[in-house]
Amino acid sequence: MNLTTPALLFPAISLLLLAYTNRFLVLAQLIRQLRQMSSEEDHRLIGRQIGMLRKRIVLTKRMQAFGVLSFFLCTVSMFLLFLELQLPGVIAFGISLVLLSLSLLYSLYEIQISTNAINVELERFEASKRGEA
């Protein structure tokens, strides 16, 4: 393996971390919006959403942590390969790939939870439409 192999992951990992940061910002915005809800119906919705939001925050934190560790080990791998330490460089790169895979799996799970949260919002919308009819 040469120095350019781990370097190929740099743009992908950077974009992935940017996407994770955006998801975290959206979660923070959702939490701020929940604070502004005041009706009794809104409080029932908030109760359902809080558990999902807490879980999504934990998952986002893990996604980011594994992504950063993957990026770090990818850098370490490149440095080791630069020093012509082939075996340690390959091992560091392999671990980097495993961490990146874990980050992506956490991301997939977080997407499932966010889809459930959207369904809760849709139920609320449908209920309000039935109330109007």
Tens digit of each residue's pLDDT (9 = 90 or more) over 6-59: 888 888 888 888 888 888 888 888 777 777 766 666 666 777 778 888 898 999
Which residue reads 């956490």 in tokens? 106
Tens digit of each residue's pLDDT (9 = 90 or more) over 64-87: 999 999 999 999 999 999 999 999
User: Are the C-beta atoms of 77 and 89 separated by less than 8 Å?
Assistant: yes
Say what the pLDDT of residue 23 is.
Answer: 86
Say what the pLDDT of residue 88 is.
Answer: 96
Say what the pLDDT of residue 84 is.
Answer: 93
Q: Quote the pTM value.
A: 0.78
**Is the pLDDT higher at 130 or at 42?**
130
Residues 9-30 as b or e (16 or more Cβ within 10 Å = b): beeebeebbeebeebbeebeee
Residue spans of the domains in the chain: they are 4-132
